[in-house]
Amino acid sequence: MIIVMKATATENQIETVAKRLQDLGFKTILNRGDVMTVIAAIGDKRLIETESLESMEGVKQILPIQEPFKMAGREAHPQDTVIRFNNGVSIGGNSNFVVMAGPCSIESDPNLLFQIADTVKASGAQFLRGGAFKPRTSPYDFQGLEEEGLKQLAAARERTGLLVITEVMDSQEVPLVAEYSDILQVGTRNMQNFKLLKAVGRQNKPVMLKRGLSATVREFLLAAEHILYQGNEQVILCERGIRGYDNTFTRNVLDLAIVPVLKRTSHLPVIVDPSHATGHRYLVPPMVNASVFSGADGVMMEVHYDPDKALSDGAQSLTLDQFKAVMENLNKVTAFYKELKQPECLINA
């Protein structure tokens, strides 16, 4: 951390700041320039709030150097994290590109989920998604089948061999959802529900953390850090669109460039969810393929046997036929991508 003192800072102010830094456990080096004095504070910035230093007398600016995510960052953990499942499927590193697909919400008739699951399996996807606990903007919207939905998911797994992923919304429900699901999903609206992050961090199922609606890269990785810090190293990041200023044509803004940013900054796997990001099914197929080239480790898609009748997110769900067509192309695209040489001069660009 670099503390820049004002040109007008007195000797006394400089010493007070340096003293406080030393009290906080930093080693300090003073660099007295012609115009101003700069204090370099060597130590773990994560221990303090820089804002409080900023308001000390004589301080002009605090310039952080080290990124605050020790465990999520790639610096101290250069190799890719790979999440492995019992059936041999894995996510991250050199694993195959994975696909998570299914309906937004699980609805009452289990046969309908089975119908979707059969198509998802047949098309070559690895994960069945489906919401049992639903975060809904309005209390008047369908809130999910809860445990009944979890049971349907488990039955569909039994039937198809697909792994399942579903959302957990509250710290109290973590044990219940963990009993049924292969991956626990923490939703966008809960990205900074720190009690939930801690709760999923204390159990040993993989967690997929969706980016908050207006979360910065730092906030996103620090939310992952909360989970890692509790001892759970199996964290997957998911880009699902951020809040834009124009929702007339798309629901959110898919921030695809964050994928290579995250892959460079962190070792955690990254999944893209173009269904929630765009909100319109015609935008899903191009964005699925684009995700492959962004370097993502997989995608999540919404599929429904009859989107017009879906209890939620119908407009962004693919039909079964569309899903099959998307998967057929996607298999070609991922095969092509794998063959594409990544020249040295670009990898280290």
Distance CA 76, CA 46 (A): 15
Q: Does 219 help bind a second copy (rule: CB under 8 A)?
A: yes
Minimal distance in Å, beta carbon 273 to a second copy? 12
On whether the CB atoms of residues 259 and 291 are closer than 8 A, the answer is yes
Nearest to 281 by CA among 320, 236, 244: 320
Q: One symbol per residue from 4 to 23: x for binding a second copy (CB under 8 A), - otherwise; what is it?
A: x---------------x---
Q: Does 239 help bind a second copy (rule: CB under 8 A)?
A: no
Q: Which of 95, 96, 115, 322 binds a second copy (CB under 8 A)?
A: 322
Q: Which of 128, 196, 271, 300 binds a second copy (CB under 8 A)?
A: 196
On whether the CB atoms of residues 62 and 2 are closer than 8 A, the answer is yes
Distances in Å between the Cα of 109 and the Cα atoms of 91, 94, 159, 162 are 31, 38, 15, 19
Distance CA 176, CA 222 (A): 26
Contact stretch for a second copy (CB under 8 A) within 27-35, 112-120, 122-130, 154-162: 27-35
Minimal distance in Å, beta carbon 157 to a second copy? 25
| Residue listed under structure tokens 């998967």 | 327
Contact stretch for a second copy (CB under 8 A) within 84-92, 118-126, 177-185, 312-320: 312-320
Q: Which is nearer to a second copy, 160 or 269 (CB)?
A: 269
Q: In sequence order, which residues have a C-beta less than 8 Å from that of residue 264 and are 6 or more positions away?
A: 74
53 CB neighbour count, 10 Å cutoff: 19
On whether the CB atoms of residues 323 and 101 are closer than 8 A, the answer is yes
Q: Does 76 help bind a second copy (rule: CB under 8 A)?
A: no
Q: Does 216 help bind a second copy (rule: CB under 8 A)?
A: yes
Contact stretch for a second copy (CB under 8 A) within 80-88, 118-126, 154-162, 170-178: 170-178
Total residues interacting with a second copy, rule: CB under 8 A = 126
Q: Does 158 help bind a second copy (rule: CB under 8 A)?
A: no
Q: Does 35 help bind a second copy (rule: CB under 8 A)?
A: yes
Q: Which is nearer to a second copy, 154 or 253 (CB)?
A: 253
Query: Of residues 46-75, which lie at the interface with a second copy (CB under 8 A)?
Result: 46-47, 49, 51-56, 60-61, 63, 65, 68, 70
Distance CA 60, CA 9 (A): 9
In which region does residue 295 sit, left (phi positive, over 0), alpha (psi from -120 to 50) or beta (all else)?
left
Distance CA 317, CA 301 (A): 8
Minimal distance in Å, beta carbon 113 to a second copy? 17
Helix (H) or strand (E) holding 60: strand 59-63
Q: Does 88 help bind a second copy (rule: CB under 8 A)?
A: no
Nearest to 319 by CA among 89, 123, 28, 88: 123
Query: Of residues 95-154, which lie at the interface with a second copy (CB under 8 A)?
Result: 135-142
Q: Does 295 help bind a second copy (rule: CB under 8 A)?
A: yes
Q: Which of 11, 15, 148, 282 binds a second copy (CB under 8 A)?
A: 282
Q: Does 248 help bind a second copy (rule: CB under 8 A)?
A: yes
Q: Does 256 help bind a second copy (rule: CB under 8 A)?
A: yes
Distance CA 123, CA 145 (A): 27
Q: Which of 100, 303, 333, 334 binds a second copy (CB under 8 A)?
A: 333
Minimal distance in Å, beta carbon 84 to a second copy? 25
Radius of gyration over alpha carbons of the chain, in Å? 23
